[in-house]
Amino acid sequence: MVSYIFRRILGSLIVVVGISIITFLLVYAVPSDPARMIVGPKAPQAVVDAVRIKLGLNLPLPVQYVHYMENLLGGNLGTSYIYNMPVSKLIWDRLGTTGILAVGAWVAELLIGIPLGIYTARRARKPSDYIVSSLALVGISLPVQWLGMVLLYQFAFKWQIFPLSATEGFRSLILPALTYGITGAAVYTRLLKSSMLEVLGQDYVRTARAKGANERRVVWRHVMRNALIPVVTFAGIDIGFLLSGIVLVEVTFNWNGLGTLAFEAIQQSDIPVIMGTVLFTAVLVVLFNLLVDIMYGFIDPRIRYE
């Protein structure tokens, strides 16, 4: 297990470095000049050139990347061109806001998706199964931003059940969490249903039924433990993505989190913030993926890594 964890950590570091290189190249492939964005469109070219030199944007791209990685290894994510603040502070200030939304959306996904997955698996090939499965397919297909706007209009503007503002505590969390929860729950429903149907066909399940175990005991004791493995895998990776920023949901509901920060940085060509948010996202996803792999052994003792 120790050697496996070491290999996974090494592989994760390689993935993060690869993401940093690709992101760096893509950022500079965009036809925009960060120096011009900083000083404004009417500033003299001499001022723009001076800003480019000050920020090191005049250096060759490989040299800029090496300097960035040197600073990164020293714990420095750079300074935002637009906010003139350390990127690490910007991320830290927004992390709590995104964390609240991420946990709320994650809980909404699980509370909706897992019961529906169990229900459709136990009612397989019956009319109710086809209805719920069709609704799940619709849920996966719904654009998150469109669904968010519909919920905002209906429940916040028209009926005024929930606030339009994102500053009114728990009530402000319900609509954005539900927006992502509805679309994400559809994935959990279909994933758990297919996993449960596969496990229900195993020999040990048929043996338990032959010994007289009731259906509830078969499902909860013999089926769920193994059927939840792919669900836990997806859930671990999913929370990593959620914590890294739900861009469309945050923008739709004016939720001032990491997703909004990344969106604003892309609009303004704020390269340090773009790099910082992307790398932070990559680290979170890789970290949760690693934790999920380690949890496998606790969920199913048959799983061992040599």
> Which residue has better confidence, 56 or 295?
56
> Which residue has better confidence, 143 or 241?
143
Reported confidence tier of residue 213, pLDDT bands at 50, 70, 90: low
User: Average pLDDT for residues 61-84, to the nearest whole number?
Assistant: 83
User: Average pLDDT for residues 78-103, to the nearest whole number?
Assistant: 87
- The whole-number pLDDT of residue 4 equals 64
Asked if the model's pLDDT at residue 222 lies above 70, the reply is: no
| Weakest-pLDDT range from 65-79, 232-246, 266-280 | 232-246
**What's the Cα-to-Cα distance from 123 to each of 117, 132, 271, rounded to whole Å?**
10, 10, 52
User: Average pLDDT for residues 107-115, to the nearest whole number?
Assistant: 89
Asked if the model's pLDDT at residue 127 lies above 80, the reply is: yes
Reported confidence tier of residue 2, pLDDT bands at 50, 70, 90: low
The percent of residues in the chain predicted with pLDDT above 90, rounded, is: 0
Asked if the model's pLDDT at residue 161 lies above 60, the reply is: yes
- The whole-number pLDDT of residue 96 equals 85
Per-chain mean pLDDT for the chain: 80
CA distance 16 to 235: 21
User: Average pLDDT for residues 53-72, to the nearest whole number?
Assistant: 83
- The whole-number pLDDT of residue 298 equals 60
> For 96-299, CATH number?
1.10.3720.10
Q: What are the residue ranges spanned by the domains of the chain? A: 2-73, 96-299
- The whole-number pLDDT of residue 198 equals 82
Instruction: Print the SS3 string covering 108-157.
Output: HHHHHHHHHHHHHHHCCCCHHHHHHHHHHHHHHHCCHHHHHHHHHHHHHH
